[in-house]
Amino acid sequence: MATDVKVPTLGESITEATIGQWLKKPGETVALDEPIASLETDKVSVEVPSPVAGTLAEQLFAEGDTVEVGAIIARVSEGGAASAAAEAPAAAEPATGEAQATVSGGAVNPAGAGENPALREGAAAADASLTLSPAVRRAVLEHHVDPSSIKGSGKDGRLTKDDVLAAARSKEASPAPAVTTAPVSQAAAPAPKAPAARADRTEERVKVTRLRQTIATRLKDAQNTAALLTTFNDVDMSAVIDARNRYKDLFERKHGIRLGFMSFFVKAAALAARDVPAVNARIEGDEIVYSNYLDVSVAVSAPKGLLVPVIRSADAMSFAEIEKTIAGFGKKAKEGTLSMEEMKGGTFTISNGGVFGSLLSTPIVNPPQSAVLGLHRIEERPVVRDGQIVAKPMMYLALTYDHRLVDGREAVTFLVRIKEAIEDPTRLLIDL
């Protein structure tokens, strides 16, 4: 008996999604509530669990297909292996006009290509074709590694992009064989030959995900609608680094979470927003809405794009509560389990590009918010203190704001307040 697997309810106003990835193949056994597919919506990825234990009998849609809420996307045969499960139906094959790329023996070759007999024979002999995600397949192409020789660290032993990059680094670190050449007289030297075209020059087309489409639309709308302007400042991180080094061990023992820099900036932003409320406001029609609370949107990196969950009432939170909330968001972003509710709203955004090594940037406002604070990497730079040139751990701050609502004086004042609070964290304790 086969049980239908349906697209679950995805949230308010969301009626359809895209099949992001099949986590199980026809013929594979599945446990009750084990994810068999991941769906991509405008903002989040949702895993579809199996309603029963048994064997995945068939897939009714291919990766990249759009499905509506309530649609049947697969069937699971209860109990032992289904006799028909070994044969994947035609509907399970990607419904595109492009040939499928198979990876075998370390090279990628479009299915059906006959230009390279040696490659085709090697593939037939090894029979090592692997089904890879687009990101992993792209990494294999770029770094010319043999995926069949790499041990996957992903779910069910699947290869991840990090696995491929690690194998590529190991390959580059291996010494190249020495080549000896006999001296050749100038007269006998052959004429230089034009370099031969590489045999592995390939291209891959990957459909833009629904999440990436939404990100692109929102960012472009922000540029088209708001009058965006960015102002900069720098901040000496010495005091915060000293405080963190002194109390990080005690903080972790007491609260069970590491003390980071983000909690200092969230608290500093809450303090500065009291003096400059326009930075925490928004425009609705012909009205300006001022919030007496600070809901901070924190940009976090996810495998399929940037996500912005919200720390609710961050101005009323302790350092430990802020750090725990951010850590939870980061974990969920990597796992693809952030909910729609966790990303709704937000009155102000903090984007920390410094964790990726960014020195300076001009972040884009997340509508309908009026401002976003960009943090960057900390590096020692020469500065003048008491007439002496000394090295200090400095960070550039960037505030992009909607000039329709926030004046330049207010934007500069907001950054100065943050700079003062970070360079003298005592201000955060006495609300100064």
- Listed in order, strand segments (DSSP E) in 324-414 are 348-352, 371-375, 379-385, 388-402
Burial of 164 (0-12, 13-18, 19+ CB in 10 A): buried
Residues 287-322 as b or e (16 or more Cβ within 10 Å = b): eeeeeeebbbbbbbebebbebbbbbbebbebebbbb
Cα–Cα distance between 69 and 195 in angstroms, integer? 54
Residue 313 backbone dihedrals phi, psi, to 5 degrees: 50, 50
User: Which phi and psi angles does 374 have, rounded to 5°?
Assistant: -105, 125
Asked about 403 being catalytic, the answer comes back as: yes
Reference 274, options 130, 421, 104, 111; nearest CA is 421
Structure tokens at 260: 């980071």
Question: What tokens does 316 get?
Answer: 């009323």
**Can you read off the two tokens belonging to residue 288?**
């300006």
CA-to-CA distance for 143 and 387, rounded, in angstroms?
Answer: 52
Give the active site residue among 163, 407, 424, 431.
407
Helices marked H in 189-237 — which ranges? Answer: 210-225
Residues 13 and 41: beta-carbon distance below 8 Å? no
Beta bridge partners of 409: none
Q: Which letter does DSSP use for residue 315 in this model? A: G
CA atoms within 13 A on the CB side of 126: 19
Largest CA distance in the chain: 85
Q: Which of 81, 103, 417, 67 is nearest to 235 (CA)?
A: 417
d(CA 61, CA 89): 10
Active site residue 431: no
Structure tokens belonging to residue 343: 């990303």
Q: Among residues 144, 162, 275, 403, which one is catalytic? A: 403
Q: Catalytic positions, please?
A: 403, 407
